Amino acid sequence: MDKVYELLDNTKKNVNDHWLISNNHLLQNNDTYFTHLNRSWGYALTLFIGSNKAIIHGLFPCFYMTSTTDLSESLYNELKSDKNN
Mean pLDDT by 10 residues, the chain (85 residues): 69 76 86 92 97 97 97 94 68
Q: Rounded to whole angstroms, what are the CA distances from 12 to 1, 18, 19? A: 17, 10, 11
57 and 78 belong to one structural domain:
yes
Look at the chain and report how many structural domains it folds into: 2
Phi, psi (degrees; rounded to nearest 5) at 40: -60, -45
41 and 24 belong to one structural domain:
no
Q: Rounded to whole angstroms, what are the CA distances from 83 to 4, 57, 75, 79? A: 44, 31, 12, 6
CA atoms of 42 and 47, how far apart (whole Å): 9
Per the structure, the complete domain to which residue 47 belongs is given by 32-85
Per-residue pLDDT, 84: 58
71 and 85 belong to one structural domain:
yes
Per-residue pLDDT, 43: 95
23 and 58 belong to one structural domain:
no
